[in-house]
């Protein structure tokens, strides 16, 4: 079932007992974060803060030294006093469990989408015309729902504010952590177009509020948005158009973080996931199509030559990402539905809501990984390692040194190239079980023989790396060793297993044992 809009999704969560409404007055300055953080770490429900009240946004000039000295980035004496009542509720943690993440993707469990992709990616041809005719309706059905459609209007433009009417401080944008450089939009869908090809890109990049119509756009060096803006600058353009969408079908947020192959439109992929075309409308002041069902649209442009200090920001690494120079978004228009809900999330020390978003990415894109590296049986990117730091990989080992091929393959796969530690296991290892993983590491890995050191790109937010965006990698061969492998010359022992017939016999008597 595709959702009509974000509020439709919230209604479904409420019907299923997955949404808690909060009537208590709560501030977007730190208080929502503290409440949401406790709920996320306790595997609690989605939250709707219906009475968002607090001090005005604490805006100011970021202090460059704050990133180094870990001091507040805004002088407390300069902060305005008084309370402000925001005109819309805030929804958070809406995808913070396996069930809610699956509901956000319009399915009972997000593994269903992995199976759909696996079916579409099967390389074998039909064995005959009858089988081909049987498969054709299914394949056509999957394809025809995909392309986005243009709509004449949408709820995202029921209210239009341009010029002096633009005032982003009226939105309940969260200041998440005490040392943050200011309020940040944390669940944005950033729409841009390649200046050469016109192809759309939708990414999720945090947006810092500077003042009522100016923001910081956190495009990291490896991200497609940054590439497109730099290409526009090289072409001599001084205005690179941008739209930031908030809300809409929650599947859009997932597609914005998805590691799609080059050339695959995020809105096309969203249509595949929701089994219904995405409806897009033209923005009011820029030449960009945006989701008709969004809650809020922020329109504007970036000058490729302009930079401003952005951050610090309490990030998904569990540490503050340091302040740095990033592009500036100049807002030309804000549109929204007449009674919007502001969607938000927070990141910080895991586990957080983003852990389930990342786990869905891991599971749904396994078929694409296996298409490129078919010997991979399964993969686990642990939430506690922030996904991009550690990968546990199970593989079908076919020849000596095969584990090293898999390590290098992982480091060559899109955003998996950021992985700092890759542990490779035999196919019978359940890499989703951390206890079993630790057992296999201790049992099968000799640090003097089974470790591969490498270097390459890492997440730009990795504060421990050799330099910004570049650092070391380490792979561990935790498989059973074959004769002659890395000088191993002894027989390798067998893993202790009970015989199948005894297991079956005990299974049959188990209920009678009273255990």
Listed in sequence order, the residues at least 6 apart from 403 whose beta carbon sits closer than 8 Å to its beta carbon are: 395, 397, 424, 475, 477, 478, 479
Burial 399-415, CB ≥16 within 10 A → b, else e = eeebbbebbebbbebeb
Listed in sequence order, the residues at least 6 apart from 100 whose beta carbon sits closer than 8 Å to its beta carbon are: 13, 18, 46, 93, 94, 356
φ, ψ (nearest 5 deg) of residue 263: 90, -10
First to last CA, the chain: 43
Distance of CA 253 to the CA centre of its chain: 8
Q: Is 378 a catalytic residue?
A: no
Q: What is the spatial distance between Cα 172 and Cα 340, in angstroms, rounded to a whole number? A: 11
What string of DSSP letters covers 99-159? HHHHHHTTSSSTHHHHHHHHHHH--PPPSSHHHHHHHHHHHHHHHHT-S-EE-S--GGGSE
Q: Which of 178, 172, 202, 168 lies closest to 188 in space, CA to CA?
A: 202
Catalytic-role residue among 315, 450, 459, 477: 315
DSSP strand E in 36-122: where? 46-49, 53-54, 84-85, 90-92
CA dist 26 → 46, 57, 172, 176 (Å): 16, 14, 11, 13
What string of DSSP letters covers 478-502? -SPPPTTGGG--SPPPPPP---HHH
For 422, the token pair is 């890759």
For 211, the token pair is 């003042």
Point out the residues that are catalytic: 315
């Amino acid at each position: 079932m595709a959702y009509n809009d974000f509020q439709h999704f919230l209604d479904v969560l409420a019907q299923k007992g997955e949404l808690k409404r909060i009537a208590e007055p709560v501030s977007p300055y730190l208080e929502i974060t503290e409440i949401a953080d406790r709920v996320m770490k306790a595997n609690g429900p989605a939250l709707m803060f219906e009475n968002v009240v607090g001090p005005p946004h604490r805006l100011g000039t970021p202090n460059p030294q704050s990133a180094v000295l870990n001091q507040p980035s805004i002088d407390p004496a300069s902060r305005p006093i008084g309370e402000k009542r925001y005109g819309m509720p805030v929804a958070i943690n809406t995808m913070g469990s396996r069930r809610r993440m699956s509901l956000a993707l319009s399915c009972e469990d997000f593994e269903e989408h992995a199976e759909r992709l696996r079916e579409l990616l099967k390389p074998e041809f039909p064995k005959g015309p009858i089988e081909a005719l049987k498969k054709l309706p299914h394949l056509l059905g999957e394809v025809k729902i995909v392309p986005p459609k243009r709509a004449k209007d949408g709820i995202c433009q029921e209210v239009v504010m341009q010029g002096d009417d633009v005032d982003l401080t009226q939105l309940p944008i969260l200041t998440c952590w005490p040392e943050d450089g200011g309020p940040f939009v944390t669940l944005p869908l950033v729409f841009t177009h390649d200046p050469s090809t016109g192809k759309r890109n939708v990414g999720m990049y945090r947006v810092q509020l500077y003042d009522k119509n100016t923001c910081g756009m956190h495009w990291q060096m490896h991200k497609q948005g940054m590439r497109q803006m730099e290409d526009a600058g090289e072409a001599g353009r001084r205005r690179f158009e941008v739209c930031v969408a908030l809300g809409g079908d929650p599947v859009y947020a997932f597609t914005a973080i998805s590691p799609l192959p080059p050339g695959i439109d995020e809105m096309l992929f969203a249509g595949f996931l929701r089994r219904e075309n995405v409806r897009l409308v033209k923005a009011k002041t820029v030449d960009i199509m945006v989701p008709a069902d969004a809650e809020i649209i922020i329109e504007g442009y970036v000058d490729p030559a302009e930079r401003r200090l952005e951050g610090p920001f309490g990030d998904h690494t569990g540490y503050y990402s340091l302040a740095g120079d990033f592009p500036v978004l100049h807002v030309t228009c804000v549109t929204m539905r007449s009674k919007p809900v502001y969607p938000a999330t927070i990141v910080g020390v895991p586990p957080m809501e983003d852990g389930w978003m990342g786990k869905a990415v891991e599971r749904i894109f396994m078929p694409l990984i296996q298409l490129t590296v078919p010997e991979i049986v399964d993969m686990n990117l642990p939430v506690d390692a922030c996904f991009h730091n550690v990968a546990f990989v199970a593989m079908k080992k076919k020849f000596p040194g095969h584990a090293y091929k898999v390590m290098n393959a992982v480091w060559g796969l899109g955003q998996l190239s950021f992985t700092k530690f890759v542990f490779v296991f035999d196919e019978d290892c359940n890499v989703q079980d951390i206890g079993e993983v630790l057992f296999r590491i201790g049992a099968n890995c000799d640090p003097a023989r089974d470790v591969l050191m490498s270097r390459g790109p890492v997440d730009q937010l990795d504060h421990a790396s050799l330099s910004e965006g570049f650092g070391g990698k380490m792979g561990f061969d935790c498989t059973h060793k074959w004769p002659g492998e890395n000088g191993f010359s002894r027989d390798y022992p067998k893993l202790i297993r009970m015989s199948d017939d005894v297991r079956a016999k005990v299974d049959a008597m188990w209920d009678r044992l009273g255990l």
